[in-house]
Amino acid sequence: MTAFPNPAGQRPPFIATVPGFPRIGAHRELKKAIEAYWRDPSLAPELANTAATLIDRRLRRATTTGLDSVPVGTFSYYDQMLDVAAMVGALPARVDGIADYPEEQVAESGGLLPPWLDRYFAAARGAEGIPPLEMTKWFDTNYHHLVPELDAARPFAADPSFLVSQVRGARRNHVPARPVLIGPVTFLALSKAAPGSPGEPLDRLPELVDVYLGILDALAAEGVEWVQLDEPALNTDRLPADRGAEASRQWRRLVAHAHGLGLRVLAQTYFTGGQRAVDVLAGTGVDAIGVDYVAGDAPDLSALPESTLIVAGVVDGRNVWRTDCARALATLAGVARTHPVAVSTSCSLLHVPHSLAAEPSLANEPELRARLAFGEEKIIEVVSLARALHHPDGQRIRRNGFLAEAEAAANGDRAEEQGNERERGARAPEHRVPRRKGGVHDRSPFPLRRKAQERALDLPPLPTSTIGSFPQTPEVRAARAAYARGESSARAYEAAMIREIVNVIGEQERLGLDVLVHGEPERNDMVQYFAEQLDGFHCTSNAWVQSYGTRCVRPPILHGDVSRPAPMTVRWFRAAQDMTERPVKGMLTGPVTMLAWSFVRDDQPLADTAHQVALAIRAECEDLEAAGAQVIQVDEAAIRELLPLRPEDRDEYAEWSVEAFRTATGGLADSTQLHTHMCYSDFGSILDLIRDMDADVTTIEAARAGFELVDAIAASDFDLPLGPGVWDIHSPRVPGVDEVTERIDHAARTLGPDRVWVVPDCGLKTRGWPETRASLDALVKAARKVRASL
Ligand code: GLN
Ligand code: ZN
């Protein structure tokens, strides 16, 4: 290998970088500062201080670790899409009335409190009389972005001052700063037209690019050399095929303008293999392309000039496992045969926790810890790989375990790799039941099950129920927290939970609901609760990842073979069922959702891991049934979420996800009624998959999608009973009896009265009791009204 292994033998302009950083702070400092500011606006200076500290620390640390090009601007007060909306003057008109931040304060904060901050927060979360922007999943991740509403009557206008402030700060600290923002195609592809605004957002690409040219001017004036524009949408069907040529044309304009200013442009893609992006960008003159070598097949780069820098994402930016350096180096060497290469993570580190050092729960798990890399460690991996690739004869600049490994792999020294193999766990998965097509499904066809269930349950038409959780009161939370901290006995905890179950059952009986639930007071989270009790999972104490805005989650780490040492929910179910004559639903989380909201081992196919989880849930289903459950709900809240980004991968996913659900639930007797629940609209695209899951009742989040979804389902092949949520639990608003009646009536007329269940659209744990009681009362009354009219 030459020092710079590429055909021209040229030194790459940089060799080690990442597309972006986690931004909430290793101890969620930013979350705390923002929420404090929301409660008390006089804390603005503290917010600015926290932001400055986090940004500084992050950028300096990345620089000293050895990144020689450092992304600046991936810090955000809420969301990166909303940042661009603010930067191009595209916050929604309904926040116009909220005043600018006073100029002195903006200046005092060094520009870190942008003038539009309060409008920005109002767009994100809503305010008095101002509904918030819609939120949706960032591609196939668990991060949610805001969906800008673009009004064609409001021209875009550049205001890059917030980004410029960050760039200035970085350059003062001698950070090799590379400003980052979402590219124009992706920004428009993920936005929507404001109500009443004609056309589609992507129609406005030329106009938006004009504004980006102004942003480039401002960045060039700061003296930076590189700019990164994130364009993940280029690889997905968010960019319709017939718009590819226009995207190329506009990108050519952008690049030409940048070159005129002496700027070079990195087009960063992620989450898919990258071929489409390469095709769109070839011929635009773009200086570098960031390619995700973890998510998909390596793209063919032959259409690119041989000087184009490939920023190769070989370190997985969205999972927590250490990189297999031999494999990463082989990939890098392959790319280096045709192009200059820089090493990177596959996507922004936004999707992984900050650092192993901040995670105390791993201290007692040295073997697991040795297999992991969080954000900080991934940066070290990138630097180590870059040095191993570009200085294979071993420039010993920084000594650490990973570097030794990377160097060893680069030098072909297999001996040093043993540890690697040992740690990556070559254990064969133990399948107690072999996987087979269609899962282990022993239930009869639906019509037979339906008869058996009618005999067993004797429910009225349009039965009423809920999705599982009831309000998590401060008392419930306090009891759980005290128990978790070891401050109260198991007995006291158990007693507190039983008291709450008594309360929840009593409330439901008084309200007159038909199928009751125990209310899930013992669950902090629908995935973590099970992960804590299953073998093969590790639950962290501080490994936070941003979900949206200031909301963070701690995904469990699924690291080994999954099995269920003991029943997980039976005692709560039994306590609840003993209190009432009405059926109580047993409540479980399904295998696909368990995977979707965890970090999952990557040393075996997801389908195999899903199967193991499914077997554990299946055992729980059977125990619940044996304990007397006549209705069991297996939530697959996230089934839509894992749907692959590329249509060609869809069938495979549909097959293993359905199989996992059917394996988990297929052992239930025909007379036991199986419910499932899923969240987030856009079910239209997976109705066939939901049908194949073959649950006896499917409840879905439909209150916001309204009648349209019900109509679409009525017109589809989906022929099973359905509970379209009739009350939007995401808002504290109490629905009136009439509006609920209208919804039920509509569903009964379009789907048929014997197919409809009456339920809220999700769990109630975030709601308070007063609105819960009032809303469920309206729901029961409305159901009775419609029943009487049948
Ligand atoms: N059973 C869960 C609950 O009610 C379902 C939550 C969800 O769909 N996200 O809380
Ligand atoms: Zn839900």
Give tens-digit pLDDT for 389-422: 987 655 444 444 555 555 555 554 433 343 443 3
Instruction: Tell me which residue has tokens 């004869």.
Output: 393
How confident is the prediction for the chain on average, in pLDDT? 92
Q: What is the DSSP letter of 311?
A: E
* Rounded CA separation 230/287 (Å): 14
Query: Which ligand is nearest the CA of 597, by number?
Result: 1
Instruction: Tell me which residue has tokens 């073997």.
Output: 367
- Residue whose Cα lies nearest atom 1 of ligand 1: it is 468
Q: What strands, in cross-sheet order, belong to the sheet with 535-538?
A: 535-538, 557-563, 599-600
- Residue whose Cα lies nearest atom 5 of ligand 1: it is 763
Question: How many angstroms is it from 35 CA to the middle of ligand 2?
Answer: 25
- Residue whose Cα lies nearest atom 10 of ligand 1: it is 763
| CA diameter of the chain | 83
Taking the CA of residue 466 as reference, the ligand 1 atom at the shortest distance is: 4
- Is 730 an active-site residue? yes
- Residue whose Cα lies nearest atom 6 of ligand 1: it is 763
Give the pLDDT of residue 647: 83
Query: Which ligand is nearest the CA of 527, by number?
Result: 1
Taking the CA of residue 468 as reference, the ligand 1 atom at the shortest distance is: 4
Give the pLDDT of residue 4: 53
- Average pLDDT for 204-213: 98
Instruction: Tell me which residue has tokens 């008390």.
Output: 40
The CA-based angle 560-565-567, given to 5 degrees, is 130
Question: How many angstroms is it from 774 CA to the middle of ligand 1?
Answer: 20
Paired sense of beta strands 341-345 and 309-315, if any: parallel
Paired sense of beta strands 631-635 and 585-589, if any: parallel
Using alpha carbons, list the distances in angstroms from residue 493 to 478, 510, 567: 10, 26, 18
* Rounded CA separation 289/273 (Å): 12
Helix (H) or strand (E) holding 721: none
The CA-based angle 712-715-721, given to 5 degrees, is 85
* Rounded CA separation 389/396 (Å): 13
Residues whose beta carbon lies within 6 Å of some atom of ligand 1 = 467-469, 520, 526, 587, 635, 637, 677, 679, 762-763, 765
Count CA within 13 A, CB hemisphere, residue 558: 28
* HEC secondary structure over 177-203: EEEEEECHHHHHHCCEECCCCCCCHHH
* Rounded CA separation 163/179 (Å): 7
* Rounded CA separation 553/555 (Å): 6
- Average pLDDT for 557-569: 97
Give the pLDDT of residue 206: 98
From 520, 631, 676, 728, mutation site for ligand 1 pocket: most ligand atoms within 8 A of C-beta? 520
Using alpha carbons, list the distances in angstroms from residue 774 to 428, 745, 787: 53, 20, 20
Phi, psi of 545 (to 5 degrees): -130, 140
Reference 761, options 747, 752, 536; nearest CA is 747
Query: Which ligand is nearest the CA of 593, by number?
Result: 1
Check 174, 259, 431, 730 and give the catalytic one.
730
Query: Which ligand is nearest the CA of 761, by number?
Result: 2
Helix intervals (H) in 261-308: 275-281
pLDDT tens track for 103-135? 898 899 999 999 999 999 999 999 989 999 999
From 504, 515, 522, 526, mutation site for ligand 1 pocket: most ligand atoms within 8 A of C-beta? 526
Q: Tell how far CA 575 is from the center of its chain.
A: 35
* Rounded CA separation 615/237 (Å): 35
Give the pLDDT of residue 1: 41
pLDDT at residue 177 tops 70: yes
pLDDT at residue 589 tops 80: yes
pLDDT tens track for 54-106? 999 999 999 999 999 999 999 999 999 999 999 999 999 999 999 998 889 88
Question: How many angstroms is it from 569 CA to the middle of ligand 2?
Answer: 19
pLDDT at residue 427 tops 80: no
From 762, 764, 767, 772, mutation site for ligand 1 pocket: most ligand atoms within 8 A of C-beta? 762
* Rounded CA separation 303/286 (Å): 12
Confidence band, pLDDT 50/70/90 cuts, at residue 709: confident
Question: How many angstroms is it from 240 CA to the middle of ligand 2?
Answer: 30
Question: How many angstroms is it from 257 CA to the middle of ligand 1?
Answer: 50
Taking the CA of residue 678 as reference, the ligand 1 atom at the shortest distance is: 8
Reference 63, options 171, 179, 186, 136; nearest CA is 171
Q: Environment class of residue 348 by beta-carbon count within 10 Å: exposed (0-12), middle (13-18) or buried (19+)?
A: buried
pLDDT at residue 435 tops 80: no
* Rounded CA separation 401/384 (Å): 10
pLDDT tens track for 591-637? 999 999 999 999 999 999 999 999 999 999 999 999 999 999 999 99
Give 245's contacts (C-beta < 8 A, 6+ positions apart).
Answer: none
Q: List, in sequence order, every residue forming a beta bridge with 632; answer none if it has no partner.
A: 586, 674
pLDDT tens track for 443-456? 999 999 999 999 99
* Rounded CA separation 607/435 (Å): 9
Q: What is the DSSP letter of 298?
A: P
pLDDT tens track for 32-48? 999 999 999 999 999 99
Give the pLDDT of residue 2: 43
Give the pLDDT of residue 390: 85
Give the pLDDT of residue 405: 58
Q: pTM here?
A: 0.92
pLDDT at residue 169 tops 70: yes
Q: What tokens appear for 707 in the block?
A: 């009648």
Q: Environment class of residue 29 by beta-carbon count within 10 Å: exposed (0-12), middle (13-18) or buried (19+)?
A: middle
Reference 632, options 590, 575, 687, 690; nearest CA is 590
